[in-house]
């Protein structure tokens, strides 16, 4: 043995077998493992709600970013059209869907934008669609006499989908129906028989555009809101963002909208914002569906 080398501590040599005094490492007991697992489970239970909250907030931010891009696209469209929106709801739906019409097709609008809408057509909270057999319902819309659009409705967390003409296209935002209706401003003395031929809505002289919704989270591509509509009748009254939806307004601003706030927006120029579903109109908490009673009043 070399000088300075450690000498093993031999014990138990009476039997002729010698072993060192070094002890083998002891493993975890079952109780210790159970305690560790319980601690990990507790930490996950505490962290998961926070992670889900952050995920929802991120998706809501992406939704608003999508609508801001739509605001830029629509602003460019109105500039190219000298301040006019599309003349019909079907034309607006075609616009939202993106161009799939071949060059030279008579259905091609007079103002043609090379839009690639697929990437911004869906809120991240409603990307998938329901099965054809389980769809909540179906819609039909005509942009031009020879151009018919057919599809199926979505839901709070499901996108609507255009089925015909192909290819299929899904989205989860809806246009304000009134913007493409001849009754958006009934104060103008225009004969009823002439109104359907109006080329579109001229937006430049309209005041209060920051209160007029254009494009919103919706279970349908067309959102109709009337003063005495019950909440479940509006395609935009969906709890997609924790008691809110996101919306683009006619001044091209984007913000979140409380679900009960929908009845206070200026859907058309004669819309009564003090209707029976508002605090000014005397709505009571029990008037709302049970799932909406805890939301903020307006």
d(C-alpha 5, C-alpha 108), whole Å: 94
Q: Residues 6 or more apart from 269 whose CB is under 8 A from it?
A: 184, 185, 186, 187, 206
Which residue, 166, 78, 177, 63, is CA-closest to 121? 63
Taking phi first (over 0 means left), then psi (-120 to 50 degrees means alpha), and beta for anything else, what does residue 120 get?
A: alpha
Taking phi first (over 0 means left), then psi (-120 to 50 degrees means alpha), and beta for anything else, what does residue 246 get?
A: beta
Neighbours of 251 (CB within 10 A): 15
The model carries a pTM of 0.77
Neighbours of 261 (CB within 10 A): 17
14-72 tens-digit pLDDT = 555 555 555 556 666 888 788 888 888 888 777 777 777 778 889 999 999 999 999 99
d(C-alpha 128, C-alpha 29), whole Å: 47
Which residue, 223, 256, 217, is CA-closest to 238? 217
For the chain, give the number of residues: 298
3-state secondary structure 114-148: CCCCHHHCCCCCCCCECCHHHCCCEEEEEEECCEE
Enter the DSSP assignment of 159. B
Return phi, psi of residue 91, to 5°.
-65, -40
What local confidence, expressed as pLDDT, does residue 150 receive? 87
What local confidence, expressed as pLDDT, does residue 64 receive? 96
What local confidence, expressed as pLDDT, does residue 99 receive? 53
Enter the DSSP assignment of 111. S
109-164 tens-digit pLDDT = 555 455 566 689 999 999 999 888 777 888 887 655 566 788 999 999 999 998 88
Cis before residue 129, ω within 30 degrees of 0?
Answer: no
Contact 74, 252 (CB under 8 A): yes
CA distances from 181 to 84, 88, 108, 192, 197 (A): 13, 7, 21, 12, 10
d(C-alpha 57, C-alpha 272), whole Å: 32
Across 180-188, average pLDDT: 84
CA distances from 151 to 38, 215, 220 (A): 50, 18, 10
Which residue, 209, 225, 297, is CA-closest to 267? 225
Across 217-244, average pLDDT: 92
Neighbours of 136 (CB within 10 A): 13
d(C-alpha 234, C-alpha 288), whole Å: 13
Q: Is the pLDDT of residue 102 over 60?
A: no
């Amino acid at each position: 043995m070399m000088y300075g080398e450690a000498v093993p501590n031999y014990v138990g040599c009476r039997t002729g077998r010698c072993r060192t005094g070094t002890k083998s490492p002891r493993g975890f007991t079952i109780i210790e493992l159970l305690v560790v697992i319980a601690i990990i489970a507790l930490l996950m239970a505490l962290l998961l709600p926070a992670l889900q909250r952050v995920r929802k907030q991120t998706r809501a931010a992406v939704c608003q970013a999508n609508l801001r891009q739509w605001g830029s696209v629509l602003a460019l469209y109105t500039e190219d059209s000298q301040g006019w929106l599309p003349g019909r709801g079907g034309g607006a739906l075609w616009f939202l869907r993106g161009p799939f019409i071949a060059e030279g097709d008579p259905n091609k609008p007079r103002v043609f934008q090379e839009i690639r809408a697929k990437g911004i057509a869906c809120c991240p909270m409603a990307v998938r669609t329901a099965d054809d057999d389980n769809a909540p319902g179906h819609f039909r819309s005509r942009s031009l006499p020879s151009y018919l659009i057919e599809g199926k409705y979505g839901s709070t967390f499901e996108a609507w989908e255009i089925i015909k003409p192909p290819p299929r296209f899904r989205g989860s935002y809806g246009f304000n129906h009134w913007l493409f209706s001849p009754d958006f401003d009934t104060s103008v003395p225009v004969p009823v028989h002439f109104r359907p031929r109006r080329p579109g809505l001229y937006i430049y002289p309209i005041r209060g555009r920051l209160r007029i919704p254009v494009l919103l989270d919706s279970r349908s591509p067309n959102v109709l809101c009337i003063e005495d509509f019950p909440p479940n009748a509006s395609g935009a009254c969906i709890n997609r963002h924790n008691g809110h939806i996101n919306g683009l307004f006619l001044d091209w601003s984007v913000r979140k909208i409380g679900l009960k706030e929908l009845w206070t927006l200026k859907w058309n120029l004669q819309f009564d914002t003090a209707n029976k579903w508002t605090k000014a109109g005397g709505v009571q908490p029990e008037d709302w569906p049970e799932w909406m009673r805890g939301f903020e009043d307006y």
